[in-house]
Protein backbone atom coordinates (compact mmCIF):
# COMPACT_ATOMS: atom_id res chain seq x y z
CA UNK A 1 0.00 0.00 0.00
CA UNK A 2 3.05 2.25 0.24
CA UNK A 3 4.56 2.41 -3.25
CA UNK A 4 7.34 4.83 -2.37
CA UNK A 5 8.47 2.66 0.55
CA UNK A 6 8.29 -0.39 -1.70
CA UNK A 7 10.65 1.16 -4.24
CA UNK A 8 13.11 2.20 -1.53
CA UNK A 9 13.11 -1.20 0.15
CA UNK A 10 13.77 -2.83 -3.24
CA UNK A 11 16.56 -0.34 -3.89
CA UNK A 12 18.10 -1.40 -0.56
CA UNK A 13 17.93 -5.06 -1.60
CA UNK A 14 14.72 -6.26 0.08
CA UNK A 15 12.43 -8.67 -1.77
CA UNK A 16 9.30 -6.55 -1.49
CA UNK A 17 5.78 -6.90 -2.87
CA UNK A 18 3.27 -4.12 -3.31
CA UNK A 19 -0.52 -4.34 -3.47
CA UNK A 20 -0.39 -3.38 -7.16
CA UNK A 21 1.80 -6.46 -7.81
CA UNK A 22 -1.30 -8.61 -7.15
CA UNK A 23 -3.75 -6.66 -9.34
CA UNK A 24 -3.16 -8.95 -12.32
CA UNK A 25 -4.46 -11.82 -10.16
CA UNK A 26 -7.25 -10.13 -8.18
CA UNK A 27 -8.09 -6.92 -10.01
CA UNK A 28 -8.01 -3.46 -8.50
CA UNK A 29 -8.19 -2.72 -5.68
CA UNK A 30 -6.86 -5.92 -4.16
CA UNK A 31 -8.95 -6.99 -1.17
CA UNK A 32 -7.33 -6.95 2.27
CA UNK A 33 -7.95 -10.68 2.74
CA UNK A 34 -6.10 -11.48 -0.50
CA UNK A 35 -3.10 -9.38 0.50
CA UNK A 36 -3.05 -10.94 3.95
CA UNK A 37 -3.27 -14.42 2.43
CA UNK A 38 -0.21 -13.72 0.28
CA UNK A 39 1.71 -12.35 3.26
CA UNK A 40 1.26 -15.72 4.95
CA UNK A 41 1.84 -17.82 1.82
CA UNK A 42 4.99 -15.91 0.89
CA UNK A 43 6.24 -15.33 4.47
CA UNK A 44 6.13 -11.57 4.08
CA UNK A 45 5.84 -8.74 6.57
CA UNK A 46 2.78 -6.54 6.11
CA UNK A 47 3.48 -2.81 6.32
CA UNK A 48 0.47 -0.53 5.99
CA UNK A 49 -1.30 2.59 7.22
CA UNK A 50 -4.62 0.71 7.27
CA UNK A 51 -5.52 -0.05 10.91
CA UNK A 52 -8.41 -2.33 9.90
CA UNK A 53 -6.07 -4.42 7.76
CA UNK A 54 -3.62 -4.76 10.67
CA UNK A 55 -6.48 -5.96 12.89
CA UNK A 56 -7.49 -8.57 10.28
CA UNK A 57 -3.87 -9.65 9.94
CA UNK A 58 -3.37 -10.01 13.69
CA UNK A 59 -6.59 -12.01 14.07
CA UNK A 60 -5.49 -14.43 11.35
CA UNK A 61 -2.00 -14.63 12.86
CA UNK A 62 -3.36 -15.49 16.31
CA UNK A 63 -5.66 -18.13 14.79
CA UNK A 64 -2.72 -19.82 13.11
CA UNK A 65 -0.80 -19.92 16.39
CA UNK A 66 -3.80 -21.32 18.26
CA UNK A 67 -4.49 -23.96 15.61
CA UNK A 68 -0.85 -25.10 15.50
CA UNK A 69 0.26 -25.18 19.15
CA UNK A 70 2.84 -27.93 18.51
CA UNK A 71 4.77 -25.54 16.28
CA UNK A 72 4.50 -22.48 18.49
CA UNK A 73 4.81 -23.95 22.01
CA UNK A 74 8.58 -23.71 21.75
CA UNK A 75 8.37 -19.91 21.34
CA UNK A 76 7.68 -17.32 23.99
CA UNK A 77 4.69 -15.88 22.14
CA UNK A 78 4.64 -12.71 24.25
CA UNK A 79 7.94 -11.71 22.66
CA UNK A 80 7.32 -13.30 19.27
CA UNK A 81 7.69 -10.92 16.35
CA UNK A 82 4.33 -10.11 14.80
CA UNK A 83 5.10 -9.84 11.10
CA UNK A 84 3.16 -6.64 10.49
CA UNK A 85 3.53 -2.95 11.12
CA UNK A 86 1.13 -0.05 11.23
CA UNK A 87 2.67 3.15 9.92
CA UNK A 88 1.51 6.30 11.67
CA UNK A 89 3.23 9.06 9.73
CA UNK A 90 2.63 10.70 6.37
CA UNK A 91 6.34 11.50 6.13
CA UNK A 92 8.50 9.07 4.18
CA UNK A 93 11.60 9.60 6.33
CA UNK A 94 9.68 8.96 9.56
CA UNK A 95 8.13 5.78 8.14
CA UNK A 96 11.49 4.45 6.93
CA UNK A 97 12.99 5.28 10.32
CA UNK A 98 10.16 3.40 12.06
CA UNK A 99 10.69 0.37 9.78
CA UNK A 100 14.41 0.45 10.60
CA UNK A 101 13.71 0.65 14.33
CA UNK A 102 11.28 -2.28 14.28
CA UNK A 103 13.06 -4.60 11.85
CA UNK A 104 16.67 -3.34 11.92
CA UNK A 105 16.86 -3.06 8.13
CA UNK A 106 19.98 -2.01 6.21
CA UNK A 107 20.05 1.66 5.28
CA UNK A 108 23.06 1.45 2.97
CA UNK A 109 22.89 1.02 -0.78
CA UNK A 110 24.76 -1.97 -2.21
CA UNK A 111 24.49 -2.53 -5.96
CA UNK A 112 25.26 -6.25 -5.48
CA UNK A 113 21.96 -6.83 -3.65
CA UNK A 114 19.77 -4.02 -4.99
CA UNK A 115 16.55 -5.06 -6.71
CA UNK A 116 14.58 -3.51 -9.53
CA UNK A 117 12.44 -0.74 -8.05
CA UNK A 118 9.78 -1.37 -10.70
CA UNK A 119 9.28 -5.15 -10.64
CA UNK A 120 11.33 -6.47 -7.66
CA UNK A 121 13.58 -8.67 -9.80
CA UNK A 122 17.33 -8.89 -9.36
CA UNK A 123 19.46 -6.36 -11.22
CA UNK A 124 22.82 -7.29 -12.73
CA UNK A 125 25.85 -5.23 -13.59
CA UNK A 126 26.06 -4.59 -17.34
CA UNK A 127 29.42 -5.69 -18.70
CA UNK A 128 29.02 -3.91 -22.05
CA UNK A 129 26.87 -0.79 -22.13
CA UNK A 130 26.72 -0.93 -25.96
CA UNK A 131 23.90 -3.49 -25.73
CA UNK A 132 21.65 -0.79 -24.21
CA UNK A 133 22.80 2.21 -26.30
CA UNK A 134 19.33 2.66 -27.84
CA UNK A 135 17.66 2.64 -24.39
CA UNK A 136 19.93 5.18 -22.69
CA UNK A 137 19.79 8.95 -23.32
CA UNK A 138 22.83 10.04 -25.38
CA UNK A 139 24.10 12.48 -22.74
CA UNK A 140 23.99 9.72 -20.12
CA UNK A 141 25.58 7.16 -22.44
CA UNK A 142 28.48 9.53 -23.18
CA UNK A 143 29.18 10.36 -19.52
CA UNK A 144 28.35 7.22 -17.53
CA UNK A 145 30.11 3.87 -17.85
CA UNK A 146 28.46 1.71 -15.19
CA UNK A 147 24.93 0.37 -15.66
CA UNK A 148 22.71 -2.27 -14.11
CA UNK A 149 19.82 -4.02 -15.82
CA UNK A 150 16.77 -5.80 -14.49
CA UNK A 151 16.86 -9.52 -15.34
CA UNK A 152 13.09 -9.64 -15.89
CA UNK A 153 12.62 -9.62 -19.68
CA UNK A 154 9.20 -7.99 -19.29
CA UNK A 155 10.80 -5.11 -17.41
CA UNK A 156 14.45 -4.69 -18.51
CA UNK A 157 14.73 -1.39 -16.61
CA UNK A 158 18.21 0.09 -16.77
CA UNK A 159 19.89 1.85 -13.86
CA UNK A 160 22.95 4.08 -13.57
CA UNK A 161 24.50 6.35 -10.98
CA UNK A 162 23.30 9.76 -12.10
CA UNK A 163 22.54 13.06 -10.41
CA UNK A 164 19.53 11.55 -8.65
CA UNK A 165 21.81 9.10 -6.85
CA UNK A 166 23.26 11.87 -4.67
CA UNK A 167 19.68 12.77 -3.66
CA UNK A 168 19.06 9.13 -2.73
CA UNK A 169 22.17 8.97 -0.55
CA UNK A 170 21.19 12.27 1.10
CA UNK A 171 17.71 10.90 1.87
CA UNK A 172 19.25 7.78 3.43
CA UNK A 173 21.47 10.03 5.57
CA UNK A 174 18.39 12.01 6.63
CA UNK A 175 16.66 8.79 7.69
CA UNK A 176 19.73 7.74 9.69
CA UNK A 177 19.75 11.13 11.43
CA UNK A 178 16.20 10.53 12.67
CA UNK A 179 17.25 7.25 14.26
- Residue 23's pLDDT is what? 94
- Residue 71's pLDDT is what? 72
Mean pLDDT rounded to a whole number for the chain:
89
Given pLDDT bands bounded at 50, 70 and 90, which one contains residue 162? confident
- Residue 97's pLDDT is what? 93
- For residues 1 and 156, give the distance between their C-alpha atoms in angstroms, rounded to a whole number: 24
- Residue 173's pLDDT is what? 92
pLDDT tens column, 86-141: 999 999 999 999 999 988 898 999 999 999 999 999 999 999 999 999 999 999 99
CA angle 71, 102, 1 (to 5 degrees): 90
Domain positions in the chain: 3-178
- Residue 3's pLDDT is what? 83
Q: What are phi and psi of 100, to 5 degrees?
A: -60, -45
42: Cβ contacts below 8 Å, ≥ 6 apart: 17
- 158 C-beta neighbours (distance < 10 Å), count: 17
Global confidence as pTM = 0.85
- Residue 66's pLDDT is what? 78
- Percent of the chain residues past pLDDT 70, beyond the cut: 93
- Between the alpha carbon of residue 122 and those of residues 77, 114, 149, 171, the distances in Å are 35, 7, 8, 23
pLDDT tens column, 66-75: 787 777 666 6
Amino acid sequence: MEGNLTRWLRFLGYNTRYAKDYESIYGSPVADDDLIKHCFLEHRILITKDREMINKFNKRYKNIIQKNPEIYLKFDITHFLTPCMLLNSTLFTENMSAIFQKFNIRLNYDSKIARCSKCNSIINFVEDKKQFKDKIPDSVYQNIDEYWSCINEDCNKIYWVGGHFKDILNKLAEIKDII
